[in-house]
Amino acid sequence: MPVKLIMTWNISPEREQEYFEFVLSELIPGAQRLGLEPAEAWATIYGEYPQIQVGLLAPDTRNARRILESPDWLHLQEKLFTFVTNFSCKVIPARGGFQF
């Protein structure tokens, strides 16, 4: 059963340009190389919610956990942490439409 990795965070204001460069040149391509399929990206423009939400698809829970525990993913995640605050991550069953 396909699962969705949902990650949320806020961008550190002083690192915005570097953040966007990292996401486009490293995070998304790196996730794809590891077997995660980008499904969605959302930005909050109003309210007290995380600024960014990203959804990545994996074929099943076992593969998602394997990827999340891999040295390559942990490296990408650690680099992401230099640009963001309030990071959250969860793996849930994938379904159509917006999921939070």
Q: Is the dihedral of CA 12, 24, 38, 5 positive or negative?
A: negative
pLDDT of residue 99: 65
pLDDT of residue 96: 75
Domains and CATH numbers, the chain: 3-93 (3.30.70.100)
Distance CA 4, CA 93 (A): 6
In order along the chain (100 residues), what is the average pLDDT of each group of 10 residues? Answer: 96 96 97 97 92 96 97 98 97 80
